Amino acid sequence: MDQTRCCPRPAAAPASRPRQLSSRLDDEWDLLRRRRAVLERARQWDVTDQPFDDLDQLLVLAGHRVTPTPATDAVLGALVEVGRSDELATRVVLQRMLPGLLAIVRKRRRVDAIDGSFEELLGAAWLVIRAYRPSDRPTRVAANLVRDAGYRAFIAPARRLSAKEISIDPRTLDETPAVIVVSSCEELAMLLAEARASGLDPTDLDFVRALLTAGSSTLLAEELKVTTRTIRNHRTQAVANLRGVAMVA
């Protein structure tokens, strides 16, 4: 049996007292964090030059319950990179994100054992970890991951629904969950990161960044020494390609 498997099944809880998924994850983590085979595997990732004898120590090096620094961001970013091909590394990053993910659930005033919102958020977090590019956003990595997961799980699906498709009983307005506030700038950054992960032509991504930096089609045309018509045509194509990514996100 593979002793480095990252998802052992804890004993089932009595049906009369369903345990929250967050508690089960903590139990799973307790089984993993000191296992010799797991630690040997984690050390082989070479994400830090600091020694650790427990995965909790690795979490601290990645910024868990300490003030984030460039050093902790570097460790977490390295774990994310490894996590693209190693589920155990993804699980470590997920554990690092748990406080932020639970804060989102509390903010939405939901209980994961009842409505499944936490399970949905965890699924989104796993996908976000696999898609995140630390080279694009090397600072505040944990906050970015948590924000991306909340956006993917709760905001993006709602934005795809038209107002006519959303039915709200006026009597329940006071019970409507709070919405995560994401600025248009942050939303665009998430979309560009997702577009990159989806394999969008890098030329389109570079063009969008150049247009944002220049501030207008006219200024970008002057900078590149091309006609404004060329810029508008490229802009139209790039926007169409980004829209395709947004529709399937």
User: In terms of domains, do 143 and 34 share one?
Assistant: yes
Domain end marker among 131, 148, 182? 182
> For residue 187, is it within any domain?
no
User: In terms of domains, do 114 and 230 share one?
Assistant: no
Q: Which own/partner pairs from 40-46 qualify as long-range (CB within 8 Å, at least 24 positions apart)?
A: 41/4, 41/88, 42/88, 42/89, 42/92, 45/78, 45/79, 45/82, 45/86, 45/89
> For residue 5, is it within any domain?
no
Could you give the number of structural domains in the chain? 2
> Furthest-apart CA pair in the chain: how many Å?
71
> For residue 7, is it within any domain?
no
Q: 134, 82 in Cβ contact below 8 A? A: no
User: In terms of domains, do 73 and 113 share one?
Assistant: yes
User: Helices 141-150 & 87-107, crossing angle to 10 degrees?
Assistant: 70
User: In terms of domains, do 235 and 146 share one?
Assistant: no
Q: Which own/partner pairs from 211-216 qualify as long-range (CB within 8 Å, at least 24 positions apart)?
A: 211/235
Query: pLDDT tens track of the chain, all 249 residues?
Result: 444 545 444 444 443 333 477 788 888 899 999 999 999 999 999 999 999 999 999 999 999 999 989 999 999 999 999 999 899 999 999 999 999 988 888 877 644 444 567 888 888 899 999 999 999 899 999 999 999 998 888 887 665 544 444 444 444 333 334 444 444 455 555 666 666 666 667 777 777 777 766 667 777 888 888 888 888 888 788 777 766 655 554
User: In terms of domains, do 39 and 121 share one?
Assistant: yes
User: In terms of domains, do 124 and 224 share one?
Assistant: no
User: In terms of domains, do 122 and 231 share one?
Assistant: no
Neighbours of 113 (CB within 10 A): 15
> For residue 6, is it within any domain?
no
Range of the domain at 224: 198-248
CA–CA distance, 69 with 74 (Å, rounded to integer): 8
Domain end marker among 182, 214, 238? 182
Residues 6+ apart with CB under 8 A from 81: 134
3-state secondary structure at position 80: helix
> For residue 123, is it within any domain?
yes
User: In terms of domains, do 101 and 29 share one?
Assistant: yes
User: In terms of domains, do 43 and 119 share one?
Assistant: yes
pLDDT, tens digit, for every residue of 44-73? 999 999 999 999 999 999 999 999 899 999
Helix-strand-coil percent breakdown of the chain, rounded to 5? 65, 0, 35
CA–CA distance, 113 with 202 (Å, rounded to integer): 42
Alpha helices in 117-227 (DSSP H): 117-131, 141-150, 156-159, 184-197, 202-214, 217-224
3-state secondary structure at position 116: coil
> For residue 2, is it within any domain?
no
User: In terms of domains, do 134 and 222 share one?
Assistant: no
User: Helices 117-131 & 141-150, crossing angle to 10 degrees?
Assistant: 130
The kind and range of the H/E element at 39 are: helix 36-44
CA distances from 111 to 39, 119, 123 (A): 33, 10, 16
User: In terms of domains, do 151 and 212 share one?
Assistant: no
> For residue 16, is it within any domain?
no
User: In terms of domains, do 216 and 148 share one?
Assistant: no
pTM of the model as a whole? 0.59
